[in-house]
A and B are shown apart, each in its own frame.
Chain A
C-alpha cells in the first residue's frame, strides 16, 4: 500500500478557468436546446419589443428634437432703434457670456442698387461686425478691402448682378464692388436680401440696429435673452426689443419629457413582463434538471459554482438573443422608414435586456444550487 496525499489542510476555493466555465456553460446550453432557444427568443423578443415601441418613440423624439433644436429656435434677435445708442462693442461684452454659439451685429440699412443701371431693385446694405463670417456666407480668409461688399447669390440675383461679380451704388452715389462667396446659414436667411459691408473696427459713430445671437442650446435661450436684455438696454428701454424662440424651446422640452416618459413606461413594462417570463422558464428548467444539480453538488460543485455556471449560461444565451432582437428590430424600423434610434440607445436596450435576463435567472440559479444531493439522488 502506498501513502496518499490528503490534500491541503485548509480548503481554499477551487479556481476554475474562465475557458472551462464557458465550455461547461455552452455544453449545458446545448444539452437543453428547448430552454436555450426559448431564452434566446424571449430576450430577442424583449429587445425587439422595446426597440419597436419605445425605440421608435425615441427615434421620433430624436428626429423631432433635432428639427426643433435647429439653430433657428436658438435665435435671439435684438432690434435697436436709432436712439438706443447700441455700439458694436457690445459684441466684446457678450464674448464673456457663456452659452453663445454665434453673434453678429448689423448697422442701420441703407439701400443700394445695381451699379450697372438705374432704377434696379433696391436692396438694403448694412455694416456688419462679427468674429465668425462663415454663417453670413463670407468664407474668405481675410477681410475684404474697403469698397468691397458681399451678397449671397440670391441677393445678387435680386440686384440683377450676374456672373457673381458686379457693383452697387447707394443713394449718395457711392459705388462698391460686389461679389459673392456663399450662402447664408439658414437661420440667418431672414436677414436677406442683404448686402454686407465687413467692418474690421468700431468707430465712435458706429451703431447697431440689429444684433443676432445664437444660443448653444435651446434651453439657454430664455436665461440668455434676460442677460442680453439687461446688457443692451440703455437709457431708453423702449428703444430696444429682444425677440426669442421661447415657445419652440418650451415645445422641445415638452416633446423630450412626454416622449421620454412614454418610452420609459413602455420599456419598463416590457422588461418586467419578459423578465418574469424568462425567470419562469429558467426556474422550470432548474426544476426539471434538479437531479442534475443534486449530482453536481454531490460530486463537489459548490453552490457558488453552480450559480456562476447558470448565470454564465444565461449571459451567453441572452447576448445571442439581444443581438438577434436588436438586428431584427433595426431591420424592421429601417424597412418601414421609421426613425432609427441612435446606436447608443440600441446598445443600451441590449444591455438592459441582458441585465434583466441575468437578474431574472438569479432566483432559478439559487434554487438550482440549493438542491440537496440526498433528496435528488436517493433511489426510493
Chain B
C-alpha cells in the first residue's frame, strides 16, 4: 500500500459524437489536501469532465492517473472497485434512492465496498449529525428538502472516507448557512488528505477553494 498523492488527467479527450468533442486535451493534477473548483459556462463539459475523472466514462484519448497509474483504461470491474473504495461522489440532484430511508442512502456504498452495514453505522450517524440531518435519518428522500438531500448525498460520499471527492454543484440547492456547513465539510475532508474536486457556478464556493480551473 502507498499513500494517496494525486489524481491527474493527462491529455484527456472525450466526445459524445466525433464531430463535436467536449473535452480536448485536458491536463490537470489534483493533489491530496486541496479543494479545486472547476468552472466554466454551461455546456462546456464540466460535468462530463467530472464523470471522466470519476472513471464513469472511458476517455477517447489521454488518461486519468491515480498516483501516476493509468486507471482510466482498466476493466470495468476494476474501475467500479476504485469508484467504490477510493472515490466519493456528490451528484447535481443528490440522486438519492427515493425508496430507502436517509440512513439507508448514506450506508448504500458500504455494500459496494464489501463492508457490513453494522460496521459503518456509527460513522453514518456521526456524518448525519455533523451535517445537521440526523433527525431525518428515518425519513424518505421525498419527505426532506433539496438542501437536506444535498447534505445527505455529501454524507454518503464521505462515508468511505474517499481519497478523491468529486462534487457536481454541491451547493446548488443550499442557503448561505448550509453552504458554509457543506464548504466546511469539503475543506475538512481535504485537510484529512483527500483531493476534493468541485464543479460549480457558485462564486462564493469558488472563493473558498484552493484553486480554480476554468474550462
Contacts and interface: CB of A to CB of B under 8 A. Distances in A.
Interface of A: 1-9, 11-17, 20-21, 23-24, 27, 31-32, 291-292, 295-305, 372-374, 377-379
A3 B193 contact: yes
Nearest to A6: B4
B139 interface: no
Nearest to B162: A4
B87 to A, nearest CB: 7
A7 B80 contact: no
B21 to A, nearest CB: 16
Among all A-B residue pairs, the 3 with the closest Cβ atoms: A300-B84, A31-B99, A4-B193
Interface string B161-188: 1010000000000000000000000000
B43 to A, nearest CB: 11
A377 B100 contact: no
Interface residues of B, number: 52
Interface of B: 1-5, 32-33, 47-48, 51, 54, 56-57, 66-67, 69, 74, 76-78, 80-87, 89, 91-93, 95, 97, 99-100, 104, 108-109, 111-114, 116-117, 156, 161, 163, 191-194
A7 B112 contact: no
Given A1-B33, A300-B112, A6 B66 contact: yes
B178 to A, nearest CB: 19
Contacts of A3: 3-4, 32, 193
A4 B163 contact: yes
B15 to A, nearest CB: 13
A244 B161 CA distance: 84
8 contacts: A1-B191, A3-B193, A14-B113, A24-B111, A298-B95, A300-B83, A300-B112, A304-B77
A106 to B, nearest CB: 78
Given A17-B116, A300-B113, 7 more contacts: A4-B163, A27-B100, A31-B100, A299-B84, A299-B112, A301-B80, A302-B80
Choose among B54, B80, B91, B116 the residue with the greatest number of A CB atoms under 10 Å from its CB.
B80
A297 B56 contact: yes
A80 B5 CA distance: 102
Choose among A5, A13, A23 the residue with the greatest number of B CB atoms under 10 Å from its CB.
A5
Contact of A298 (B32, B48, B83): B83
Contacts of B76: 302-303
A7 B163 contact: yes
Nearest to A30: B99
A23 B112 contact: no
Contacts of B78: 11
Contacts of B5: 6
Contact of A377 (B87, B91, B161): B91
Contacts of B3: 3-6
B56 A6 contact: no
B141 to A, nearest CB: 12
Contacts of B109: 299-300
Contact of B56 (A16, A21, A302, A373): A373
